[in-house]
Structure 1
Amino acid sequence: MSNGLIVGFSGNITRPSSTRRFVDSVTASLAERAGLTHEVFDVEDFGPALAAARAVTDLDPKAQTIVRTIIEADALVIGSPTYKGSFTGLFKHVIDLLDPADLRGKPIILTATGGGDRHALMVEHQLRPLFAFFEAFVVPTAVYASSRDFTDGAPSPAITGRIEQALAQATALLRGRSIPTAIAAE
């Protein structure tokens, strides 16, 4: 594969964050499998200008660079804590700043965390439709984890299995995307 980049973006609005740790872990695993580098950002990285931004150009230079990095990534690992059955508002605000074509064709793994099982469908009912709008290639396996799915920070075997399945799907998409580039170079 290329010398590309896997980017994780977490919708957490506080630090430390179990959601950010989860996104970081999945992002690092995907990057390792794909032979790529990785970076992880969260809402906090955008700074105070985010709340008033109506366009990417309203963000400070650091935040504009983060947006550019997300757009230019070879693949994304997206995660959000679940608040009242949905993703965080500032997470959605970041996504709202993107042009609808910015994520077209980009492989994405969806993850979410929450306090209990009643939020598990947030990934399917909130995140998946959002990224379908952008025409991203969201892998079929999403990973929702509640606090009981972790012991001493390590995911349970059931969650590990879902992560492995999502990683395999995203890796296949990344490999498939690199084939036309290799053929064109010949």
Structure 2
Amino acid sequence: MRIVGFSGNAARPSRTRTLVQAVLDTASARGLGQTVAYDLVDAGPTFGQTSERAKAAPELERILDAIQKADALVVGTAVYKGAYTGLFKHLFDLFDMTALARKPVIVTATGRAPHHAAVIDYHLRPLFLFFDASVATRGLYALEPDFETPERLVPAFQARIDRTVDELAQLLQATTTH
């Protein structure tokens, strides 16, 4: 199994990448599969000007191909103005609407205000349901106090990650038995 993480944050390090990576690390430690993570910065300088996949630069196509071929995804975005980042959405706009069908997806987000947690249910989940992906019912939203540093979550947050990875394991098992 190959689990691909994508952080829709333009900076590295970032709390968003830390959250995505923590889910990937837990999945890997449980033997669910090999993991790899990408950030927006990995898509290259022309990413924002790419209007269709056929015109994607090689570094962007590498990410798109990895996402499409993955057995599961862990995606994350910082919350800006109450929704996912524009470039995060732009990356997924480059996929055909059937490209992610039945693919297990864990959605995550980071933000500064508790009420922005709604981004999980009102923006991220509908985006991946559009693609007919198998979106986990449990998403992860982390606030600044959930981080010791931008590169490290507080230990207490691990229980939430564990429950989310439990669901990822169930989704992966369901896709391999069908």
The TM tier, using the shorter chain, reads: over 0.9
How far off is 1:103 after superposition?
0.6
Q: What does 1:3-18 align with in structure 2 at a 5 Å threshold?
A: 4-18=1-15
Deviation string, structure 1 residues 88-125 (Cα, Å, up to 9, x no partner): 11111001001110110000111000012121111111
Quote how far apart the aligned CAs of 1:155 are: 3.0
- State the superposition RMSD in angstroms: 1.4
Q: TM-score, normalised by structure 2?
A: 0.93
Unaligned runs of 5+ in 2: none
Matched, 1:146 2:148: no
Contact 1:5 1:31 in 2 (8 A): no
What's the CA shift for 1:31? Answer: 2.8
Alpha-carbon deviation of 1:150? 2.1
Which residue is 1:112 aligned to? 109
Letter of the 1:76 counterpart: L
Provide the identity percentage: 38
- Match of residue 41 from structure 1: 38
CA drift of 1:57 comes to 1.8
Any idea what the Cα deviations from partners look like across 1:10-45, whole Å, max 9, x if unmatched? Answer: 100112211111111111212332441110001111
Amino acid at match of 2:23: V
Shift of 1:156: 5.2
1:127 correspondence with 2:124: yes
5+ unaligned residues in a row in structure 1: which ranges? 181-186
Following TM superposition, where does structure 1 have runs of at least 4 consecutive aligned residues deviating by more than 6 angstroms? none
Of residues 57, 63, 79 in structure 1, which corresponds to 2:76? Answer: 79
Alpha-carbon deviation of 1:60? Answer: 1.0
Q: Which residue of structure 1 lines up, in the alignment, with residue 57 of structure 2?
A: 60
In our comparison, the structure showing a higher alpha carbon Rg is 1
Count of equivalent residues = 176
Mapped to 1, the partners of 2:80 and 2:70 lie a distance apart of 27
Conserved 8 A contact 1:100-1:133: yes
Q: Residue 183 of structure 1 aligns with which residue? A: none
For residues 34 and 137 of structure 1, what CA distance do their matches in structure 2 show? 20
